[in-house]
Amino acid sequence: MSPRTKPSWTPWLYLAPALVVLGGLLAYPIYQLGLISFFQYTQAQVSGGEPTSFQGLGNYAELFGDDQFWQVLGATVVFAAACVVSTLAVGCALAVLLTRVRAVPRLALMLAALGAWATPAITGSTVWLFLFDPDFGPVNRVLGLGDHSWTYGRFSAFFLVLLEVVWCSFPFVMVTVYAGIRAVPAEVLEAAELDGASQWRVWRSVLAPMLRPILVVVTIQSVIWDFKVFTQIYVMTNGGGIAGQNLVLNVYAYQKAFASSQYSLGSAIGVVMLLILLAVTLGYLRLLRRQGEEL
């Protein structure tokens, strides 16, 4: 069913509030962000009354010439990828599990997952930090690790943050995929069963293709969210870890802008992030197009 064509002003009327809000509070700040990234903009310009000066691509040149930037960029990509993969794997596996159990265990798992989902990022981060605290946390006692510090090593700190991120974001994947599986008509699966397909095969050749739109949605959302992780890193590694080893782009931009008042460098990092995510989006849109799906 395709929407009929109606008088052309009505949709714009409906869109007006959204466009006003998005234009003023999203598009305009983004424009400002881009602008700042081309100027010299430090505290002296912001509040000291010194004139701003146009730098062209100077800020970008400085950024790209900095080894730390590339290091942080690499860490961000790897970390986000690890988070996305783990979240999807855990979420999908548990969604399938949910369909195999009776009401009581299903409700238990669902409630536990909703609890994790509902936990604010900041409290989730502090709680996980406390669980892994070298002196008072239960995890080291159970594992017999003594006073091993999880936040000291680069990888173990990232791993700890990853656990928290997966914990609080798998429920979205699980609930969505579960809802999707429930919507698959039983006859389809019955037919597969009659053909004698194994479980893995049913997932691969029946469920996965049918769930494909859902999987694409949760993947793209996970990519967006995990690439922009801020609170968890900021709280759990105390602003970026020992000697900045656990910085990701978002925290790095924040530190550059607000701790060192290099607002223009911070903005340039923000622009780079935006461009990367834009590229991901375009890839996603192409995928949709190729499948002949309509927006």
Site residues (CB under 8 A) for other proteins, limited to 10-69: 10-12, 14-15, 17-19, 21-22, 24-26, 28-33, 35-36, 39, 41-49, 52, 54
Q: For residue 74, what are the β-bridge partners? A: none
According to the binding rule CB under 8 A, does residue 186 interact with other proteins? Answer: yes
Euclidean distance between CA atoms 163 and 118, whole angstroms: 16
Site residues (CB under 8 A) for other proteins, limited to 254-293: 254-263, 266-267, 269-271, 273-274, 277-278, 280-282, 284-286, 289
Euclidean distance between CA atoms 70 and 263, whole angstroms: 19
In terms of CB distance, is 82 or 97 closer to other proteins? 97
Within 10 Å of residue 202's Cβ, how many Cβ atoms?
Answer: 16
Question: Could you say which of 57, 61, 81, 127 contacts other proteins (CB under 8 A)?
Answer: 127
Least CB distance from residue 124 to other proteins, whole Å? 7
Kind and range of the H or E element at 40? strand 39-40
Euclidean distance between CA atoms 234 and 249, whole angstroms: 11
Strand bridging mode 39-40 / 53-54 = antiparallel
| Nearest Cα to Cα of residue 51 among 60, 59, 39 | 39
Question: Could you say which of 192, 226, 232, 246 contacts other proteins (CB under 8 A)?
Answer: 192
According to the binding rule CB under 8 A, does residue 143 interact with other proteins? Answer: no
According to the binding rule CB under 8 A, does residue 112 interact with other proteins? Answer: yes
Question: Could you say which of 91, 181, 222, 226 contacts other proteins (CB under 8 A)?
Answer: 181
According to the binding rule CB under 8 A, does residue 79 interact with other proteins? Answer: no
Contact 264, 40 (CB under 8 A): yes
- Show the CA angle centred on residue 239, arms to residues 238 and 244, nearest 5°: 105
Question: Could you say which of 73, 80, 84, 113 contacts other proteins (CB under 8 A)?
Answer: 113
According to the binding rule CB under 8 A, does residue 144 interact with other proteins? Answer: no
According to the binding rule CB under 8 A, does residue 159 interact with other proteins? Answer: no
Q: Which residue type does 140 have?
A: N
According to the binding rule CB under 8 A, does residue 191 interact with other proteins? Answer: no
